[in-house]
Chain A
Amino acid sequence: MFATFRLSMAWLHTWFGLVLGYLLMVIFFFGSLSVFDREIDRWAIPQTRFAPQPMPSFDTLLAPIFARMVPEAHELEEARARVGGPLPAELPPLNWGAYTTHRDPVLAMYAEYAVTNNPTDPDDHVHGHITIDPRTGQVLPDDQLKIGSDFFYPLHYSLHLGWKDLGYWVVGFAALVMLAALVSGVVIHRRLFREFFTFRPRKHLQRSTLDLHNLTGVVALPFHFFFALTGLTVFASIYLPVSETMLKPQAQAAAMAEAQGMGLDFKPSGVKAPLASVDAMVREAKRRWAARGMPGEVGYLYVNHVGDRNSYVTLYRAGSDRVTLVGQPIHFDGPSGRVVHEAPPPSLIASVNDFLTGLHLQHFEHWLLRWFYVLGGLTGCACIATGFIFFVEKRKRQHARAGSLGARWADAMAVTAVTGMLLATLSMLVANRLLPADLAQRADWEKGVFWGAWLLAWGHAVARSGPVRQARLSPAWREQCWAAAGFALGAVGLNWATTGDHLLKTLGARYWPVAGMDLVLLVVAGLAATAALTLRRRERAAQPQAAPVLPAEAAHG
Chain B
Amino acid sequence: MAEAALLALAWGLSACGLAWLALAMESHWQQVRAVDTAPSPRTVRLLRGLGAAALVASLLACLQADHATMAVLVWVMSISGGALLVAFALAWRPRSLAWLAGPLS
Q: A interface vs B, CB < 8 Å? A: 194, 196-201, 215-216, 219-220, 222-223, 321-324, 355, 359, 364, 366, 368-369, 372-373, 375-376, 379
Contacts and interface: CB of A to CB of B under 8 A. Distances in A.
B74 A366 contact: yes
Contacts of A196: 22, 83
A373 B76 CA distance: 11
B84 interface: yes
Nearest to B72: A323
A309 B7 CA distance: 51
Given A322-B67, A369-B70, A379 B84 contact: yes
16 contacts: A196-B22, A198-B27, A199-B91, A201-B91, A201-B92, A219-B79, A219-B83, A223-B76, A223-B77, A321-B70, A322-B69, A324-B69, A366-B74, A372-B74, A375-B81, A375-B84
B37 interface: no
A366 B81 contact: no
Given A372-B77, A375-B81, A366 B87 contact: no
A200 B91 contact: yes
B90 interface: yes
Nearest to B77: A372
Nearest to A194: B25
Contacts of A322: 67, 69-70
Interface residues of B, number: 27
A417 B13 CA distance: 36
Contact of B80 (A200, A359, A375): A375
Nearest to A198: B87
Interface string B63-105: 0001101100110111111011011101110000000000000
B25 A364 contact: no
A375 B77 contact: yes
B28 interface: yes
A194 B22 CA distance: 9
A552 B41 CA distance: 54
A485 to B, nearest CB: 22
**A-B complex: 10 closest residue pairs judged by Cβ atoms:** A372-B77, A219-B83, A199-B91, A323-B69, A197-B87, A220-B80, A197-B22, A199-B87, A219-B80, A368-B7
Is chain B's interface secondary structure helix, strand, loop, or mixed overall?
helix
Contacts of B66: 366
Contact of A323 (B73, B76, B77, B78): B73
A215 B91 CA distance: 12
Given A223-B80, A376-B80, A359 B73 contact: yes
A219 B84 contact: yes
Nearest to A219: B83
Contacts of B79: 219
A215 B84 CA distance: 8
Contacts of B78: 372
B77 A369 contact: yes
A208 to B, nearest CB: 9
Given A197-B90, A366-B74, 8 more contacts: A197-B25, A199-B90, A200-B91, A219-B83, A223-B77, A321-B70, A375-B81, A375-B84
A91 B74 CA distance: 48
A177 to B, nearest CB: 22
Contacts of A364: 70
Contacts of A324: 69
Contacts of A201: 91-92
A196 B23 CA distance: 12
Contacts of B86: 197
B50 to A, nearest CB: 16
Interface string B7-28: 1000100000010001001011
Interface in B8-64: 11, 18, 22, 25, 27-28
